[in-house]
Amino acid sequence: MKKVLIFAALALTACSTGNKKPMETPKDQLAHRLFSVAEAGQIAYGHQDDLFYGHTWCVQDWENDPLERSDVKEVTGKYPMIMGCDLGGIELGDSCNLDGVPFGLMKKAVLKHIERGGIVTFSWHPRNPLTGGDAWDISSNEVVKSVLPGGEKKAEFMLWLQRAADFIESLGPDVAVIFRPWHENIASWFWWGGKLCTDQEYKDLFRATWLYFTKERGITNILWCYSPNGPISPEEYMSRYPGDEFVDILGTDIYEYVGDGFVPEADVRFSEEVKDMLRSLSAMSLEHQKLMCLSETGFEGIPSPAWWTGVLEPAIREFPICYVLTWRNAHDKPGHFYAAWKGFENEADMKAFSDKENILFLD
């Protein structure tokens, strides 16, 4: 009941444009669609890189491939409602992203997924503009500063933003997508992380990205998602919040890890972390009138026998998140998968998850 009430309030705000309603933009339509999902008590399921490759396969001849294969579809009979893609590599003008996905394939698959009725979200693991290393190169805490006004890498960084914006713009004027740059920003594993820049520098980075896309390029078909790593306190979450003007969706990335411990204990820990985090996210989303989501999650290799129906779904069901996304099924790293695949021992559990009334796949 609480879930419905929160979103009744949000939906009203989203629609209250006075008597004369202007034409809904593609961004508004996407926002309303996501509001409606959450308001109906549902959660859309998403999978990273779903149409590009799976546990044992990879699209080869993408120009001629019908892009019908999906590990998720092979297990559940349905495509994920949300497909995640990563722009890492676009900034250098590379032809493939950091995981070997050709940007030509990405564009084709994004349009195909949207044509089928799906929704797309972009993450971005750009290289380190100061050191030349990757997104995980945390050897310098001057990187964010170097791309801001007065910084030695600002001009080059603007070119990086231009290339990312070119790609999103190339999807067409009617295509709205979710974009969540500068994610997992409270921990310190990316060059824009907690110890790598000040709160103000982080906010400036996010705002500069938003301003470039929105004001300089006029790309307004984006729902901007802020997605710090969780679990963290509400104070930590808000410490780097760029501001209501720059954010449409409050997200968080939380994974399950077992380490040297036992899976059942990890299940309980993860479940508590997700619930705590989504509880505070619910309060923040109500206060700031934003959509919310579990922007990334998963348990690498899914070693928990009933993870989908026994751990994930019970942890998220009571919260008004519009979607949950599990990470990619790598084709070249056998243990690196976050969705079931045909033949995986626990595939029936993911199928049961997909059959739940409150979980939304793409039929």
Enumerate binding residues for ligand BMA (CB under 6 A).
86, 98-99, 125, 327-328
The residue of the chain with the least Cβ separation from ligand BMA equals 86
Q: Which is nearer to ligand BMA, 39 or 99 (CB)?
A: 99
Q: Which is nearer to ligand BMA, 184 or 347 (CB)?
A: 184
Residue 323: which of 31, 57, 34 has the closest Cα?
A: 34
- What gap in Å lies between CA 47 and CA 63, rounded to an integer? 22
In Å, how far are 105, 155, 254, 324 from 149, measured between CA atoms?
A: 35, 9, 33, 36
Closest distance to ligand BMA from the beta carbon of 329 (Å): 10
Q: Which is nearer to ligand BMA, 7 or 191 (CB)?
A: 191
Q: Which is nearer to ligand BMA, 134 or 236 (CB)?
A: 134
Alpha carbons within 13 angstroms on the beta-carbon side of residue 94 total 17
State the DSSP string of 298-339: EETT--STTIIIIIIHHHHTTS--SEEEE----SSSTT--SS
Alpha carbons within 13 angstroms on the beta-carbon side of residue 68 total 4
Q: Which is nearer to ligand BMA, 113 or 125 (CB)?
A: 125
- What gap in Å lies between CA 252 and CA 43, rounded to an integer? 15
Return all residues near 133 (Cβ < 8 A) that are at least 6 apart: 127, 139
Closest distance to ligand BMA from the beta carbon of 164 (Å): 15
Closest distance to ligand BMA from the beta carbon of 327 (Å): 6
Closest distance to ligand BMA from the beta carbon of 34 (Å): 23
Closest distance to ligand BMA from the beta carbon of 330 (Å): 6
